[in-house]
Amino acid sequence: MAFLSLDVLVFFFMFESVLVPIFLIIGLWGTLNRKVYASILLFMYTLFGSICLLYLVLILYSDVGSYNFSVLAKTYITLQKQYILWLLGFIAFTVKLPSMPFHIWLPEAHVEAPSAGSVVLAAVLLKLGGYGILRVLLPVLSEASIFYSPLVMMISIISILYTSIIIFRQLDIKRIVAYSSIAHMNLVLIGLFAFSLEGIIGAIFLMVGHGIVSSLLFFVIGFLYERYSSRLMIYYGGLVKTIPLLAFTLLLGCLGNLGFPGLSNFIGEILIFLSIIGKNIFVFGIVLSSIALSGIYSLYLFTRLGYGNLSQSIKIYTDLMYVEILIALPLVFSMVVLGLFPNLIIDVLYSYVYLLLEKTKL
């Protein structure tokens, strides 16, 4: 409902209602000993963002007298007030996205959540932050968005580099995918604030692609955890020899995660690159280096699990079962189809993004 709402008040309630099920999923059905801590951490960070968004909604209504997105986008708001409202909205949406320094809750939540909870987090909850920026900040507070765009670029670059580097210190497989999600969502943030047709379309496409790829990876990690009750890399090795079908599915997820050509993430990333290469070569260079890091840690994850010596702690080798194939196959199919036929989404997005840029003068 949050993605279908036509006014900001309904969007706020739907935006926050997602917190209830994910809080319960982590707190009640979490897999490790820190599930209560992770659920409380998620709640506190999200509550802070919720308060900021509530202030934004109430101030907009008091000034404009309407909650409707179309009315808000057409109403002039003074620059001084835009600057304040934009900061409130940006905090609220980057908590969900997330960006530094509001990213701490995400790795903890992913590690403690069951596979289904991680999929909801990656495919739905994170996308609400990007959608909020696209629906509220850019059309309603467009002048403030342009004013604060250097700040957004700086935060995004720091978040991408920090999370891409800290991944190499992680031993938990799920935590690796969680930190890579932060890097990808901050690349989305760069695309949104490039203020170009290619950048915004690329950001939306990457949100869709990331939701598919990360869901596939979290399901595969869940399959491994159900078999061997561990997510530490040191306990795995030689999966290509013992459970080749599951290892192949993991390979596809890792290739999608690094933006391999022909898979969904590649299209979004290349459009974002095209949007910033002519505007800020420094940002482009940093983002390009982060993609190189993405390739390194994604391939390292697969080679560490797929090859090497057989783990002595693994005694039972069960490849993908029928139910698991039914879960993974639609995600693999979607990832490949969107990578080969991106116009299925781009043609739909083109007119909307073009009108957004025309109306808001971004």
- Express each pLDDT in 252-298 by its tens digit: 999 999 989 999 999 999 999 888 887 778 888 888 888 888 888 89
The whole-number pLDDT of residue 65 equals 80
Q: Are 331 and 212 in contact (CB under 8 A)?
A: yes
Place of tokens 């701490």: 104
What does the pLDDT average to over 149-175?
Answer: 90
Contact 173, 221 (CB under 8 A): yes
Neighbouring residues of 134: CB distance < 8 A, sequence distance ≥ 6: 192, 200, 203, 204
Regarding pTM above 0.85, the answer is yes
pLDDT of residue 233: 86
Q: What is the mean pLDDT of the chain?
A: 87
Distances (CA, A) of 209 to 127, 205, 330, 338: 11, 6, 13, 8
Q: How far is residue 280's CA from residue 96's CA, in Å, rounded to a whole number?
A: 26
Q: Assess whether pLDDT exceeds 70 at residue 322.
A: yes
CA 224, CA 200: separation in Å to the nearest integer?
36
Work out the pLDDT band at 207, boundaries 50, 70, 90: very high
User: Is pLDDT above 90 for 213?
Assistant: yes
